[in-house]
Amino acid sequence: MTEADTIFGIMASLGREGYSVQALIRLAAPLGIAENTVRTTLHRMQKKGTIASRREGRQAVYHFTNKAVKISGNVLKGFHTPDWSGWDNLWRGIIYSVPETNKPLRHRIRTKLALYRYRPLYPGFWIRPYKENDDDPNDWTDDTKTACSDIVVFTPETPFAKKRIQELWQVEQVNRGMAGVCRQIQKEAAAAKSISPEEAFKRKIITGEKAVASLFSDPLLPDEYLPNDWNAVQLRILFQDFDAVMTKIAGPFISKILEEVEE
């Protein structure tokens, strides 16, 4: 995780409308992020369009942009077990063609499609399961339109083999990663009674980052393409319980910082 990921995580996990620079500096300190690094990171996040600032009195307050809200919404999909009941083997496909000379555009398209959990069935043809009225965000369509792309919904003549789909989404690797995060959460939860509010905040963010990243790697596939020991459901339950416990213990530490910087 980068410093930007951590600061984004702090802002998202505490759920406030805005954060002063001083609040973010003090919240980032237990995580080993120095003041100058926080300031530099905030500047870079502004340039990338994930945060913006407004003036409140004599200080700047940072808040999420619409772009960040979309990113958060896509990440939060991994927090919920998808309902594929009634799925009738429909798939959505993105077909694009970009000249070899325009590698930056090719990279942008592939990165965005991967973030929305699409995978390449063939070069230039990315797919994922689809249900009617799917609310899949489509802010990547501007890039794909530029690349002379087509969006199609189709039913394969022969259903895709389970092994093929699992290999495309690296299901076994993702499942092992989730199992490891589950074990870590269980271990840290068992020791929760003996930690300080500051340490609870630190674990909330650091372990939370690992859990969120693991849940974000969930391809959100229909059950028929998942192993019987799929760990996503257990991880969601463990993480939500863990985050609630750590947030409660960390409450005095968080409140003290926010109250002091707002005085």
Condensed to tens digits (0 to 9), the pLDDT of residues 206-241 reads 999 999 999 999 999 999 999 999 999 999 999 999
Q: Are 225 and 165 in contact (CB under 8 A)?
A: yes
Listed range (103-112, 143-152, 171-180) with the worst mean pLDDT: 143-152
Domain 3-71 class in CATH: mainly alpha
Q: Domain 90-158 class? A: alpha beta
pLDDT at 197: 96
Nearest to 221 by CA among 74, 70, 86, 81: 81
pLDDT over 90 at 136, yes or no: no
Q: Which of 1-5, 44-48, 202-206 shows the lowest mean pLDDT across its residues? A: 1-5
Q: What is the pLDDT of residue 199?
A: 96
Which sequence spans correspond to the domains of the chain? 3-71, 90-158, 167-252
Q: Closest Cα to residue 86, out of 222, 255, 178?
A: 222
